[in-house]
Amino acid sequence: MNILFLCTANIQRSKTAEEVFRAANNNHQYKSAGLSEKYVSKANSTLCTEEMLQWADRIYVFEQQHIERIQKHTGDVYLPKISNLNIPDNYQYFQRELVLLLLERCDLA
């Protein structure tokens, strides 16, 4: 299965998720990206493309605004693939609490 993690800038939450699950379960393929061109370019991280959305069998986002941003650009096409983890942007890269929330809310480990 192809799993895509999307947050705002692809610095902390989605990047952590990609690496945690790649280490925990190599039966799937993992990618992560950011949805804000402004913040992704500032951080020199990966910007989400429609090709990535097509590639993914399952898409995990971290906030409702991420779903709305995808929907604004692509309509309802990808909604059935999307799960909202409801994890706010107040964690650092690989912060223990973030990792524990990811393991609790994603059924991939």
pLDDT single digits (tens) 39-67: 999 999 999 999 999 999 999 999 999 99
- What's the pLDDT at 108? 74
Q: What CATH number has the domain bearing residue 14? A: 3.40.50.2300
Count of structural domains, the chain:
1
Residues 6+ apart with CB under 8 A from 60: 3, 4, 5, 6, 17, 82, 83, 84, 85, 106
Enclosing domain of residue 10: 2-105
SS3 call for 18 = helix
- What's the pLDDT at 109? 52
Cβ neighbours of 74 (radius 10 Å): 13
- Whether pTM > 0.75 for this model: the answer is yes
Classify residue 39 by burial, with Cβ atoms within 10 Å: 0-12, 13-18, 19+. middle
